[in-house]
Amino acid sequence: MRLPVSTWPDIDAWLKQSTTIVIPIGSMEQHGPNGFLGTDALCPEIIANHAESLAPDELLIGPTFSVGCAQHHLDFPGTITLRPSTMIAAMVDWTDSLLRHGFDRIYWFNGHGGNIATIEAAFSEIHARRSFDPRGADTRPDLWLQRRDWWDFAEVMSLCKQIYPQGHGSHATASEVAVTYWAHPERERQHTAMSPKIAPNGSISDAVRYRRDFPDGRIGSDPTQANAADGGRIVAASAQCLIDDVARFGRR
């Protein structure tokens, strides 16, 4: 089931059988010359929706939290970011809204490495607020929060290594671009030559330094390797891992 295309009676019925929800969470930031700005929000959303199509009775997919922490990409047109403090505040409000309905297992399915520290900080903020609340366990449900990065399943990592032995990279990766091409084949870009073929590696800090060190936006990657067919293999692998992982999470 998908929350944005469900009714409130649908969600009411869901809550009688499960208190788990999956929230795709990403970012709106440049992804090199041939990757979409929405890549990091699209990838977890595409995989989660595919998983839901395979197991509609087992998964409830929430709306995508599509803007995250991307300040370092702001020198590239189209990037939109939240400050970490804003993102934490928004995640607290999303969680409190869901808790009010009875969801006590919230699984954040992440598509952006730059979100990880802030998602974990948001979890700490949410748990701290509950710790300061003097009410006992008899008056409120437990709350379980989980972050999982879509590429971080062992099966998905080994598949990506097999498809892209060279130039997979760490930003604007071949795999993430392929996943978006699978879902939007009409928007697949012709493979323009990129120079250098494999982008440099390095550390990041602010937006100006990022553009200076990584002028076309890529880090360590050759996303000209991306195609829709390989994207479909990656989506299938990650979707099955997601179904299994959420089932384990729901039983905790």
For Zn ion, how many residues bind (rule: CB under 5 A)?
A: 3
The minimum distance between CB 221 and Zn ion, in angstroms, equals 10
Strand partners, 2: 61
Q: 183: helix, coil or strand?
A: helix
Which residue's CB is nearer to Zn ion, number 149 or number 245?
149
User: 155-184 mask for Zn ion (x: CB under 5 A)?
Assistant: ---------------------x--------
Where in 10-39 is the site for Zn ion (CB under 5 A)? 39
The minimum distance between CB 173 and Zn ion, in angstroms, equals 7
Distance between CA atoms of 215 and 210, rounded to whole angstroms?
Answer: 8
Q: 174: helix, coil or strand?
A: helix
Distance between CA atoms of 76 and 14, rounded to whole angstroms?
Answer: 42
DSSP state of 153: S
Which residue's CB is nearer to Zn ion, number 10 or number 216?
216
The minimum distance between CB 56 and Zn ion, in angstroms, equals 28
The minimum distance between CB 218 and Zn ion, in angstroms, equals 10
Which residue's CB is nearer to Zn ion, number 19 or number 224?
224
3-state secondary structure 84-112: HHHHHHHHHHHHHHHHHHCCCEEEEEECC
Q: 175: helix, coil or strand?
A: helix
Which residue's CB is nearer to Zn ion, number 105 or number 112?
112
User: 89-108 mask for Zn ion (x: CB under 5 A)?
Assistant: --------------------
Residue 149, H or E segment: strand 144-149
Which residue's CB is nearer to Zn ion, number 21 or number 46?
46
The minimum distance between CB 156 and Zn ion, in angstroms, equals 14
The minimum distance between CB 186 and Zn ion, in angstroms, equals 21
Q: Are 26 and 43 in contact (CB under 8 A)?
A: yes
Strand partners, 110: 25, 149
Which residue is at the shortest CB distance from Zn ion? 40
Token readout for 111 is 């598509």
Which residue's CB is nearer to Zn ion, number 113 or number 250?
113
Which residue's CB is nearer to Zn ion, number 110 or number 240?
110
Q: What is the DSSP string of 118-134?
A: HHHHHHHHHHHHHHH--
The minimum distance between CB 184 and Zn ion, in angstroms, equals 15
Token readout for 147 is 């972050």
Q: Are 40 and 117 in contact (CB under 8 A)?
A: no
- Any contact of residue 40 with Zn ion (CB under 5 A)? yes
- Any contact of residue 149 with Zn ion (CB under 5 A)? no
Q: What is the contact surface with Zn ion in residues (CB under 5 A)?
A: 39-40, 176
